[in-house]
Amino acid sequence: MQNHINTVFFDLFGVLLGIDQSVVVQYLSKLTNTPYLKTREITMGEPYMQLERGEIKFQEYVEDIRTLLPNGDRIDADRLRDIWMNSRVGEMPVVSLLDKLQKKYAVWVISNTTEAHIKSLQSQFVFLNSFNGIITSERAGTHKPHPNIFKFALEEANTDAVSAIFIDDSYSNVEAAENMGFTVHHYVNFETFQQFIQAYI
């Protein structure tokens, strides 16, 4: 099966770039008595992306996750902001494997964000300029996990689902891609990702 793969698609936030999410997620998981992975899925999901894209303010983000998390009323916005501000956005360990992958495959990004946001990130993070292409939900006209963003990405990359790998930290996005025939990996941590990708590099 590996022989048929010619393209690798990565999610951006939570796989290649992220705040030190574990600190924020662990704090909220303990505070709300919610399992870590469920907390992560909620707090680093769509509300986080809206915050990243500048569509909502931090206070609105807090209100959103208060509603979505069990016992969300325990969340204190000021305390969360302090923890958040001490967690800088940075490259995640997966970035260290991009060079190897790019020697063998076309490597793309699919992200629920805007073109302007990507341009601003490209000026901060040089590795973002090395991809074959970056698919934004703005350009595709639809967000993950909608199948149309994956169809758009496959057309742009001039490949098909059975020839592609898709890696994302959101289970619903991974499930949507898998249903379309992609080889997928649900990113939870670098160790399990390394085990998965080893067969391809």
- Whichever domain contains 186, its CATH number is 3.40.50.1000
Question: Do 102 and 143 sit in the same domain of this protein?
Answer: yes
High-pLDDT (> 70) share of the chain, %? 97
Question: Do 6 and 35 sit in the same domain of this protein?
Answer: no
CA-based nearest residue to 45, from 20, 75, 13: 13
The tally of domains found in the chain comes to 2
Question: Do 13 and 67 sit in the same domain of this protein?
Answer: no
Q: Is residue 2 scored above 60 in pLDDT?
A: no
Q: Which of 14-28, 29-43, 140-154 has the lowest mean pLDDT?
A: 14-28
Name residue 7's beta-bridge partners.
Answer: 106, 164
pLDDT of residue 55: 85
The predicted-structure confidence for 53-105, as pLDDT tens digits, reads as follows 778 999 999 999 999 999 999 999 999 988 887 776 788 899 999 999 999 99
CA-based nearest residue to 173, from 23, 6, 34, 49: 49
